[in-house]
């Protein structure tokens, strides 16, 4: 072990036990400004070839979340995808399930040296860092990519600019119950040593 790379057992233990919380189980409070700034700072500390920062974050909070739900319902109804009262309620509450929702926006674009795919991997890393930082700060977090990530009208309304798209929305709040554990892949199913063909 190097003095330049000391072992952080508490961090390893945290990562081994981190689980997502369904946003429907979150309540107030969400992170205050100091916690939120720290969480977003961690989210921006990811591998980023060329220092392009091919991501940005949009914070949704307060009464704006209710207006967003009404607009999403309007768009979904125009698409003919709302089948009844339960679906209407689902659309209306998309952004009120957690006190804070953060949109992770991909700005990945053609570059003479850095492939778009590499930039998109950096975007995904920023979203995962966001989830981990929220959890490490004592909050519940869940990264969701629902229909409005991929609907052009909804994405524009939610703040995606020309050439941008959402990698997802991270919901952050206070947990009201323990998260469920889910099966994880066995290492022997996903790890192999390279062998020359």
Instruction: Show the beta-strand stretches assigned E in 36-156.
Output: 55-61, 100-106, 140-144
Strand-pairing partners, residue 168, are 104
* Cβ atoms 120, 144 nearer than 8 A: no
Please tell me the predicted confidence (pLDDT) of residue 5. Answer: 87
SS3 content of the chain, % helix, strand, coil (to 5): 45, 15, 40
Neighbours of 5 (CB within 10 A): 7
Domain boundaries, the chain: 21-62+97-176
pLDDT at 1 over 80: no
pLDDT at 87 over 90: yes
Residue 197's pLDDT band (boundaries 50, 70, 90)? confident
Q: What are phi and psi of 194, to 5 degrees?
A: -65, 140
Q: Is 168 in a helix, a strand, or coil?
A: strand
pLDDT digits (tens, 9 = 90+) for 99-138: 999 999 999 999 999 999 999 999 999 999 999 999 999 9
pLDDT digits (tens, 9 = 90+) for 13-24: 999 999 999 999
Residue 83's pLDDT band (boundaries 50, 70, 90)? confident
Could you please state the CATH topology (level 3) that the domain comprising 21-62+97-176 is classified under: NADH Oxidase (3.40.109)
Please tell me the predicted confidence (pLDDT) of residue 3. Answer: 82
């Amino acid at each position: 072990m190097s003095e330049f790379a000391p072992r952080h057992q508490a961090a390893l233990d945290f990562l081994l036990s981190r689980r997502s919380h369904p946003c429907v189980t979150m309540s107030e409070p969400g992170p205050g400004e100091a916690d939120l700034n720290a969480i977003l700072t961690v989210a921006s500390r990811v591998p980023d070839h060329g220092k392009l920062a091919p991501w940005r974050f949009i914070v949704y909070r307060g009464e704006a979340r209710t207006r967003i739900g009404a607009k999403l319902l309007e768009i979904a109804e125009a698409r003919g995808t709302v089948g009844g009262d339960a679906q209407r309620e689902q659309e209306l509450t998309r952004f009120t399930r957690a006190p804070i929702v953060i949109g992770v926006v991909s700005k990945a674009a053609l570059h003479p040296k850095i492939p778009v795919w590499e930039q998109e991997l950096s975007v995904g890393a920023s979203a995962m860092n966001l989830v981990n930082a929220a959890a490490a700060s004592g909050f519940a977090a869940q990264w969701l990519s629902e229909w409005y990530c991929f609907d052009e009208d909804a994405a524009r309304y939610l703040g995606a600019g020309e050439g941008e798209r959402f990698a997802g929305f991270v919901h952050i709040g206070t947990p009201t119950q323990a998260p469920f554990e889910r099966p994880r892949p066995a290492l022997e199913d996903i790890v192999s040593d390279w062998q020359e063909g």
